[in-house]
Amino acid sequence: MARKFFGTDGIRGRTNSLPMTAEMAQRVGQAAGAHFLRGDHRHRVVIGKDTRLSGYMMETAMISGFTSVGMDVVMVGPVPTPGVAMLTRSMRADLGVMISASHNPYVDNGIKLFGPDGYKLSDADEAAIEALIEQKPRLVPPEAIGRSRRIEDARGRYIHAAKSTFPEELRLDGLKIVIDCANGAAYQVAPSALWELGADVVAIGVSPDGTNINDGCGSTAPQLLQRRVVEEGAQLGIALDGDADRVIVVDEKGRIVDGDQLMAAIGLSWAKRGLLRGGGIVATVMSNLGLERFLAGHGLELIRTQVGDRYVLEAMREGGYNVGGEQSGHIILSDYATTGDGLVASLQILAFLIQSGKPASELLHLFDPLPQLLKNVRFGGDAPLDSDTVKSAIAAGEARLEGSGRLVIRKSGTEPLIRVMAEGEDDRIVEEVVDSICEAVKAA
């Protein structure tokens, strides 16, 4: 059954428009709180956020919702999404909330929910919460209303947890690292963690003002980072997104290393050291065919899922894998975290560099990706993919790529976009296939 509010990564939209209104945030708090009221203990929810202006409004509304159904609230302020997951578990909370629209512009916001185990919610939990949102809230009597408090050391706790994933025998002394925090949730914690491990840190994207999150910076706009790495003579550049659950790396020559290459590097490194579980890694249908072929050449398997890091994690848990992620930079290392963590993944890459003694340009470009093209088409109707014209264009594209490539068309779970991706041996054919399908979608 189609979900009304939840997409591939929580609830997301333009602020002050449904579903991202204060009223809806309160209802989500009431519904999620009621769903996770289990047992007779004092129930607790941890709420974190990124740096966008609307975070204050959404946080206040959610506190109102949770406390009205009897949940105590712990506010931790701006911290990365994986920090909320970690704190939910360590504080024995019943629920975790991250208020963030990830890589989207500041005018958007979102609500990501974590269960008491620190994992993103299942489809069943989200469906149950959606049903409660549309019902009259279960308000508690006055004496049972929840309390709220803010803790000031949340960022320090996350820094400690992230640093503990870095090999104890290694230091970052002698490494110059440029890190772009996208003016987002990691603007304090990520540079601090690298500095504490000994790196010479050049930090950019660390001056949030409520409106500049992801604005010309971060993992979705790495051009500034590319320039600074070369100008500074740095050994590595790290670009996080607004809530720091994804990472893109830049080598010392200014070349981008995407999530596929990062997964290949970590997977191969861990396999050689006997640390990789499951005999492969998990990625989505968007990962490049070159990654699949590279892994196969080293006796490793690539397991594909639908788009969304929570689907990657579900497959990892079911199959016993400990490395997975997305081409966009969500890297999940389940030995250390319950969700994608850009800083933790960066530390694994840095450990790989130190142990190898090779520059990033030699170490992190492990395979040649097949020509791949992704284009987005914004739509205003209900179901453009149901159009006969679009279906015919897709069928024609699949026929042209048969045996030499792949075609993936999907509706975005976070924005009103149709994403059209094709890859194959011939970049000309790839471009023609994508363009023809995009034109059909626009016409529909």
Catalytic residue set: 102
Q: Scan for tokens 């159009």, then name that residue.
A: 387
Rounded to whole angstroms, how far apart are CA atoms 237 and 219?
A: 11
Rounded to whole angstroms, how far apart are CA atoms 251 and 249?
A: 7
Distances (CA, A) of 193 to 66, 132, 176, 201, 359: 32, 40, 14, 10, 22
Rounded to whole angstroms, how far apart are CA atoms 343 and 244?
A: 7
CB neighbour list of residue 318: distance below 8 Å, 6 or more residues apart: none
Are 325 and 260 within 8 A, CB to CB?
A: no
Are 266 and 346 within 8 A, CB to CB?
A: no
Tokens of 188: 């304090």
